[in-house]
Structure 1
Amino acid sequence: MKSSLIISTYNWPQALELVLLSALNQTQLPNEIIVADDGSTEDTRDLIDSFKSKFKIPLIHVWHEDDGFRKSVILNKAIAKAQSEYIIQADGDCILHSNYVEDHLQFAHKNTYLFGSRVNIQEAHLNTLFENKQTIFHAFSKGIKKRTRALHIPFLSQFYSASSEFSKKYRGCNTSYFKSDFISVNGYNEDFKGWGREDSELALRFHNFGLQGRRIRYRGIVFHIYHNEKSKSRLEINNDIELQTIANKTVWCKNGIDKYLSEDN
């Protein structure tokens, strides 16, 4: 099955470099990598260009102008360009476990979306992280917390089954799904502006559409690089959008990916 790895980013090339290095180290490469860039400066473009010759697969940069936090918009634009049937998603501040892509693909199943664990890298470890360009972590590595999330034990993953109920453990920085399902709910809701709720609202519409969510615990792990919290000035508005999705059992968002799709998609 062909897969596209989508990595969202904004003006943090130092972190994106580590994510791309971890993508190079995958036990199974996707068929393409698309960086969804929410308006970064030339430093990010230069970094991506420098990596293109290192990959044996296409590394594609999808960019739009900086007009505030528009993660939903840039992800829709990137996923519209994806040439694969399966989408694996991560953030540009999340270092991928070496089995990340392989783990998601092994659990990919019709009528199901997946989500994995996020291990937090602590602020005190950042200097060491960037100086050493560290991309390998395990449960006993320095600088991380909630270490059990870093355990990669494939045998135990089989005990986590798919559920029709939305899980509060869901994180959009570590998820995967069929592109056809994403299009069926019209992708991310672009009414979301500013940080918050855009990922969980998508998952809720997946459930309203009839999908189940499966947590791939002990596999599909990312290591989240510490950063200061983003502005939550729009959180109340975004929260209201999500509550409407729950109350109305919304499947299709009106302001979504369809505007970027051609007849070939």
Structure 2
Amino acid sequence: MKHLKTTLLIATYNWPEALDLVLQSALNQSQLPDEVIIADDGSTNETKVLIDSFKTKFEIPLIHIWQKDEGFKKAHILNKAIAKASGEYIIQVDGDCIMHSHFIKDHLQFVQDDTYLFGSRVNIQKDYLDTLFKTKQITFSAFSKGIKKRTRALHIPILSKLYKPNAEFSSKFRGCNTSYFKKDFIAVNGYNEDITGWGREDSELVLRMHNNGLQARRLRYRGIVFHIYHNEKSRDRFEINDTIEQKTINQNIKWAKNGVDKYLT
């Protein structure tokens, strides 16, 4: 089988302390991607300085794609970043999600045509943050301090084979831990940029992928991320975004009119 060129995509906004740990966990991968792209929704210069400091540590390209801060426009920056990605396959996390050391390897072992993957998210608790950042911890297990829902942290590869591709969208899907072929992303015109503010940008994307014939496969017991606690984002646009998603479901929409095509050359 030919090598599948892979892009690790990390979305971030103004939390360099967390991004530092995420990038450390990227360096700690048992299998590296071919490039890392940081999709930055308007962070200040402190984040740029951090990313620049990592460029000499990576043996692969570390690319920083930034847009001006005009509020929560995650769909826009992810479209811009994926348009620039040279990988055939995109593995996507958020800048507050520390990756298990086999995260990339786990995703790549389950790559399948006409299928996107999604993995588990383990939450790191608020009262553990001081310790987390002081020790710069990037390795966790089901028995580690400071986490909850410990069974999600179990890395048992043989059990993950019990989970098969499914034509139905799963409520367990999280955009902070997913992967897909770039061509399948482009086939639905990527993220819907009518969705701004927090909520629904990721699920609305994969619902269009389902409408376009893709299946979902859950990476239970593999492909794990550890999500660093933070205060909830403003939900002032959530009802509008939810209405867009419901329209996608009800009308079997496959193509985002306001999507990635404008960035493709």
Class of the TM-score when normalised by the shorter of the 2 chains: over 0.9
Give aligned pairs, total: 262
Unaligned runs of 5+ in 2: none
| 2:238 corresponds to | 235
Among candidates 192, 197, 207, match of residue 195 of structure 2? 192
Q: Is residue 74 from structure 1 mapped to residue 68 from structure 2 by the alignment?
A: no
Equivalent of 1:139, from 138, 142, 155? Answer: 142
Q: Secondary structure at the match of 1:241?
A: helix
1:57 alignment partner in structure 2: 60
1:59-208 counterparts in 2 under 5 A?
59-208=62-211
AA partner of residue 62 (structure 2): L
Q: What is the root-mean-square deviation in Å for CA atoms of aligned residues? A: 0.3
SS where residue 151 of structure 2 aligns?
Answer: helix
Identity of aligned pairs, percent?
70
Please give the alpha-carbon distance, in whole angstroms, between the structure 1 residues aligned to 2:137 and 2:82: 29
Pairing partner for 2:220 from 205, 217, 222: 217
Amino acid at match of 1:134: Q
What TM-score results when the alignment is normalised by the length of structure 1? Answer: 0.99
In structure 2, C-alpha distance between the alignment counterparts of 1:228 and 1:40, rounded to whole Å: 17
Q: Which 4+ residue blocks in structure 1 deviate beyond 3 angstroms?
A: none
Structure 1 residue 55 displacement after superposition: 0.2
Say yes or no: does 1:48 pair with 2:48: no
C-alpha deviations, 1:177-235, integer Å up to 9, x for none? 00000000000000001000000001100100000000010000000000000000000
Mark the runs of 5 or more structure 1 residues left unpaired by the alignment: none
Per-residue deviation at 1:243?
A: 0.3
Residue 18 in structure 1 maps to residue 21 in structure 2: yes
TM-score normalised by the chain length of structure 2: 0.99
The whole-number CA distance in structure 1 between the counterparts of 2:78 and 2:179 is 13
Superposition deviation, residue 59 in structure 1: 0.1
Distance 1:81 1:170 in 2: 25
